[in-house]
Amino acid sequence: MNESQQTSSPLSFFNLHVEGVGYLNRVRTIKPKKGQEFLACTVCALRGCDQNVSYTKFDCIVSGADAQEIVRLLEPVVAVDKAVIIGFRIGDIYPEMFTFEKGEKMGQPGVAIKGRLLRIKFAKVNGMPVDLPHPAKYSERDNVPA
């Protein structure tokens, strides 16, 4: 293969997406010393039986204009500790090791699951549906908590 054939080949990507329902928490703007600021949040995804729910926490960078607009819309509600449940899609997840810096686990290793919040399908605040500016379509098979 010559050089021009190599550069014209399209790149392939492998996508890893997580979809579910969870609580939107810790909405914040991160201002790194280098690079551009970005919007971040935590999603506590619900899993397991609805009578004995377990949670998986994802630390996310909010990606895409629609997702950013919706998270900014919900940010004041999250800030006053109201329960905000979202239907979400998170992509590009990966684990990151850290060491607890305070509390009873101080000095112990921990793992955070990082990813990009790509889409918000629906939102409810204290159980009441929220009209979203760009609602994503979802089917009835998606679990929508009451």
In the three-class reduction of DSSP (H, G, I as helix; E, B as strand; rest coil), residue 25 is classed as strand
CB contact at 8 A, 43 and 60: yes
Cα(92)–Cα(84) distance, rounded to whole angstroms?
23
Tokens of 56: 């998986």
Output the pLDDT for position 9.
Answer: 78
| Tens of pLDDT, residues 4-36 | 555 667 888 888 899 999 999 999 999 999 989
**Residue that wins the pLDDT comparison between 40 and 1:** 40
Residues with Cβ within 8 Å of 106's Cβ and at least 6 positions away in sequence, in order, are: 100
Segments making up each domain of the chain, as ranges = 15-114
Residue 111 has pLDDT above 50, yes or no: yes
The amino acid at residue 81 is D
Output the pLDDT for position 137.
Answer: 55
Output the pLDDT for position 7.
Answer: 62
| Tens of pLDDT, residues 63-103 | 988 999 999 999 999 999 999 999 999 999 999 999 999 99
Q: Which numeric CATH code is attached to 15-114? A: 2.40.50.140
The amino acid at residue 101 is E
Output the pLDDT for position 45.
Answer: 97
CB contact at 8 A, 22 and 41: no
Residue 142 has pLDDT above 80, yes or no: no
Kindly indicate the confidence band of residue 143, based on its pLDDT and cuts at 50, 70 and 90. very low
CB atoms within 10 A of CB 136: 17
Residue 134 has pLDDT above 80, yes or no: no
Give the pairing type, strands 109-125 and 128-129: antiparallel
Cα(37)–Cα(90) distance, rounded to whole angstroms?
20
Phi-psi map region of 60: left, alpha, beta (phi>0 left; psi -120 to 50 alpha): beta
